[in-house]
Structures are given as structure tokens and as C-alpha cells.
């Protein structure tokens, strides 16, 4: 792996849109999450990654989807409370054993990871991680400089 210089200038690794993540705020009651999944399926949207944080009276579900524009439109039309943010999706071509190297790359440049979860599927069948980091562009540049492929929305929405 190449030595990282956190002060070096950086640029995007590829053309395309950043991967968008939706955080959906649901009441903690039976069927609430299934209703969201059914709504997305009826809109021809595939859930590619998810993370669920459950609390006593509410649940936050983080979703990476095949068609973020459709999801945003549907959530607005249906009055579903949500938040959007760009996340990094890193392809682990050598599988899960590459995960420590990916995380170590960000550790070396002192970039905090706010949360992380696996992608359920991606084109090519490789493992992948969804990462929210404190500086999206810097994190992307450092991962790319270290040899990791950072996927764009177009990579996931084929």
C-alpha cells in the first residue's frame, strides 16, 4: 500500500454522483420497516445496503438504494420523515479480509468514521462497505490514493 500524505492535493477518483444514503425515522412498532420496504419495492427501487438503530420509541433505518431520486420523491409525497447525506462506498475486491486495510487508511490520516455498515450487493459481486466520514472528499481521495475503489451511485444503479 502506498504511503499517504494527508497534505497532498486530491481530486475525485471517478466521474459520477456520490452515493446517497437515506436515514428514515420510523415509529418503533411492528410492520413499520416492512411498510417502507414494500413502498420501495412498489416503486421499483432496490435496497442495496441498510443499517438499523433501534430505540425504545423510534427506529432509524439507514438505506443505500438503487434509485435515490425516486426514493426522495416517494418519501416527500408520502410524508415520510427522512434525511439524506453522501456516503463513501468502498469496494473490497479481495473480500472482507481487506476491511482492516481500508479502515487503517482512514486511521493513518486521522479521519473519523461516524458509522459503517456492509452493502448487501453490488455489481461484480465484491464485498463493499458504506462509510460516513467527517470529510467526505478527503476520505475518498485518501482511499483512492491507497488503491481502494470508491464507488459512485452509477456503479450501484446499473
Q: What is the pLDDT along the chain (158 residues), one digit of tens a residue?
A: 444 444 433 333 457 899 999 999 998 888 989 999 999 999 999 999 999 998 877 889 999 999 999 999 999 999 999 999 999 999 998 878 889 999 999 999 999 999 999 998 766 778 899 999 999 999 999 999 999 999 999 988 86
For residue 48, the SS3 value is: strand
Phi, psi (degrees; rounded to nearest 5) at 135: -130, 100
Report the pLDDT value the prediction gives residue 122, as an integer from 0 to 100: 67
Q: What is the pLDDT of residue 126?
A: 83
Which pLDDT does position 158 carry in this prediction?
Answer: 62
Q: What is the pTM of this model?
A: 0.84
Q: How far apart are CA 139 and CA 132, in angstroms?
A: 9
Q: How many CB atoms lie within 10 A of CB 118?
A: 15
- Give pLDDT, residue 54: 84
Cβ-contact 123, 156 below 8 angstroms: yes
What is residue 56's DSSP assignment? Answer: S
Residue-level pLDDT at 4: 41
Say how far residue 113 (Cα) sits from the centre of its chain: 12
Domains located in the chain, CATH noted: 21-85 (3.30.2130.10), 87-156 (3.30.70.260)
- Strand locations in 15-156, DSSP E? 19-27, 47-54, 58-65, 82-92, 113-118, 127-133, 149-151
Q: What's the chain's length in residues?
A: 158
Give yes or no for a contact between 115 and 146, defined as CB atoms under 8 angstroms apart: no
Amino acid at each position: 500500500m502506498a504511503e499517504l500524505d494527508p497534505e497532498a492535493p486530491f481530486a475525485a477518483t471517478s466521474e459520477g454522483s456520490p452515493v446517497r444514503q437515506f436515514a428514515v425515522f420510523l415509529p418503533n412498532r411492528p410492520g413499520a420497516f416492512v411498510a417502507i420496504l414494500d413502498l420501495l419495492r412498489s416503486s421499483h427501487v432496490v435496497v442495496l445496503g441498510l443499517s438499523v438503530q433501534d430505540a425504545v420509541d423510534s427506529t432509524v433505518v439507514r438505506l443505500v438504494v438503487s434509485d435515490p431520486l425516486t426514493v426522495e420523491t416517494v418519501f416527500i409525497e408520502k410524508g415520510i420523515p427522512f434525511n439524506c447525506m453522501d456516503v463513501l462506498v468502498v469496494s473490497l475486491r479481495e473480500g472482507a479480509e481487506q476491511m482492516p486495510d481500508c479502515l487503517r487508511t482512514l486511521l493513518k490520516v486521522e479521519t473519523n468514521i461516524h458509522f459503517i455498515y456492509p452493502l448487501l450487493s453490488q455489481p461484480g459481486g465484491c464485498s463493499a462497505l458504506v462509510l460516513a466520514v467527517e470529510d467526505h472528499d478527503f476520505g475518498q481521495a485518501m482511499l483512492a490514493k491507497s488503491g481502494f475503489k470508491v464507488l459512485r451511485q452509477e456503479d450501484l444503479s446499473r
